[in-house]
Structure 1
Amino acid sequence: MFYYLLKYVLLGPLLRLVFRPRIEGLEHVPSSGAAIVAGNHLSFSDHFLMPAVLKRRITFLAKAEYFTGPGIKGRLTAYFFRSAGQIPVDRSGKEAGQAAIREGLGVLSKGELLGIYPEGTRSHDGRLYKGKVGVAVMALKAGVPVIPCAMIGTFEAQPPGRVVPRIHPVVIRFGEPLDFSRYAGMENEKAILRAITDEIMYAILTLSEQEYVDQYAAAAKAADAERKAGRKATGERRARRLPQR
């Protein structure tokens, strides 16, 4: 109930008014039946802009940290995300991937639309990173099509670390559904899962026209943070060696 209140009354109209997103290829999203919408992930705003423009409800897998904040603020945040169609997934530990797959298959088993970001986390620099194979596992196990989606302009509107979005043109572009029924029953074949995931990521890349990096986003983000920390430490050491005037 609150999902539709957000979509049509409280949040959706505001997002459409402020960002005026241009929608392309909406006809590729089926009006009924289970399907996966797989998109690039550039901004916190992605969670709300895509549901705002779709004609049917979509449920996203979201990191559990959005649901576990302390105090009243944390509880209100968790309620908001659940009401907005988000399902918490713990991304830590060895079973994180399996937990996400179970939750996703639960959504698809109800004939609903599942939203997923194959990169696993937001891009920290606006580039498109290597996809994780969970999306392929779900597509094969559920026997559903995958609709590629490109969010364009949301990184500029609200890059990681920015709380209040700036006004910037946004395009949400959906591609033709990808059918992987030819691989039915092969969800345990690693090479097949990798090939399917790469095909999905290539479709997203074609729509978004981003630069592609053949590396997982989380690893790239960690390496970048380590480099920045190293440069900062080097700068501090040099500053300490400078003669005082």
Structure 2
Amino acid sequence: MTSDAEPDAEPTPTKRPGFVYFLGYGIMAPVARLVFRPTITGRENIPKTGPVILASNHLAFVDSLVIPLTAPRRVQFLAKNTYFTGTGLKGWVSRTFFTSIGAVGVERGAGQAAQDALDAGRRILESDSAFAIYPEGTRSLDGRLYKGRTGVAWLALTTGAVVVPVGLIGTQEIQPTGSKGIRVRKITVNFGTPIDVSVHGSAESGKARRLATDQIMAAIHELSKQELAGVYNEAPPSGTLHKLADRVFPRERR
């Protein structure tokens, strides 16, 4: 998620995807491939069994559909909890849809919320599943690749999962920023060579987490060919005054 925090609490087992996931995948995957005809490379790099982290760049909301629908095994990822808590028909549709693509609901934010999200990712991996994560924390609005948060390294070092870097190209053209519609555009999904980050040290070492994260981001960069931002990606300002100030005094945290 978006934080560098690493939780200490022991997680409880997570529930694996069930009937709704496999039904949704069975319907949506062939349809998506027929309509968008994505170029997919490196599917063989994803281990068929055992815990694996798919660490990807993040360009658009549809990235969370593209990865599960192009990977050769079921993939789970974290999504904001509001997608699962709605009421009525709309709430049922949202809940069913996100369940069908392997999403797991969590509260988004910093501090304890970020730790809870990492715990959820840890539970997924400890059930020998594939887990997709965006080390940048939030999607890139300008197309550049931002610095990775070290939560991805903590997950890999704690669970022993291998990391498969993912480079998405062109997904921002399917759903440009601010657009609610979907456009048919050519995209590329590159799955890279698995990375064993254990060579950097233990999960308790801040240096090991930073080195492992930088290695993962370098691999993503090689696959996506994006311009490097060299800074962390921050969430857009929320209030009107903050938005105005951000326009007048643009800033990036290094």
TM-score by length of 1: 0.86
**Structure 1 residues 169 and 189, CA gap change in structure 2 (3 angstroms):** same
Alignment equivalent of 1:3, drawn from 18, 21, 27 = 21
Aligned to 1:140: 157
Distance 2:24 2:190 in 1: 22
> C-alpha displacement at 1:64, in angstroms?
2.6
What's the secondary structure of 2:178's corresponding residue? coil
C-alpha contact 1:140 1:187 (8 A) present in aligned 2:
yes
Choose 1 or 2 for highest CA Rg. Answer: 1
C-alpha contact 1:97 1:134 (8 A) present in aligned 2:
no
Distance 2:113 2:79 in 1: 12
What's the secondary structure of 2:158's corresponding residue? helix
Aligned to 1:239: none
Distance 1:152 1:19 in 2: 13
> C-alpha displacement at 1:228, in angstroms?
6.1
C-alpha contact 2:53 2:132 (8 A) present in aligned 1:
yes
> Is 1:21 the counterpart of 2:38 in the alignment?
yes
> C-alpha displacement at 1:152, in angstroms?
0.6
Amino acid of the structure 2 residue aligned with 1:104: G
Amino acid of the structure 2 residue aligned with 1:222: P
More moved, 170-179 vs 12-21: 12-21
> Is 1:210 the counterpart of 2:226 in the alignment?
yes
What's the secondary structure of 1:129's corresponding residue? coil
Amino acid of the structure 2 residue aligned with 1:97: A
Aligned to 2:5: none
What's the secondary structure of 1:229's corresponding residue? helix
Distance 2:245 2:196 in 1: 45
Higher helix fraction (1 or 2): 1
Percentage of pairs with the same residue: 42
* Structure 2: unaligned runs, 5 residues or longer: 1-18, 249-254
Aligned to 2:29: 12
**Structure 1 residues 232 and 104, CA gap change in structure 2 (3 angstroms):** closer
Q: How does 1:162-201 map to 2 (within 5 A)?
A: 162-184=179-201, 186-201=202-217
Alignment equivalent of 2:126, drawn from 89, 104, 109 = 109
Distance 1:227 1:105 in 2: 35
> C-alpha displacement at 1:72, in angstroms?
3.3
TM-score by length of 2: 0.83
Q: Any idea what the Cα deviations from partners look like across 1:124-143, whole Å, max 9, x if unmatched?
A: 12211111111000000001
Distance 1:32 1:52 in 2: 17
What's the secondary structure of 2:229's corresponding residue? strand
Distance 1:52 1:222 in 2: 32
**Structure 1 residues 227 and 209, CA gap change in structure 2 (3 angstroms):** farther
> Is 1:128 the counterpart of 2:145 in the alignment?
yes
> Is 1:222 the counterpart of 2:240 in the alignment?
no
**Structure 1 residues 208 and 8, CA gap change in structure 2 (3 angstroms):** same
Q: How many residues align?
A: 229
**Structure 1 residues 187 and 232, CA gap change in structure 2 (3 angstroms):** closer
Amino acid of the structure 1 residue aligned with 2:137: G
* Structure 1: unaligned runs, 5 residues or longer: 234-245
Distance 1:89 1:40 in 2: 20
What's the secondary structure of 2:234's corresponding residue? helix
Aligned to 1:57: 74
More moved, 71-80 vs 81-90: 71-80
C-alpha contact 1:147 1:174 (8 A) present in aligned 2:
yes
Distance 1:65 1:214 in 2: 32
Amino acid of the structure 2 residue aligned with 1:187: A
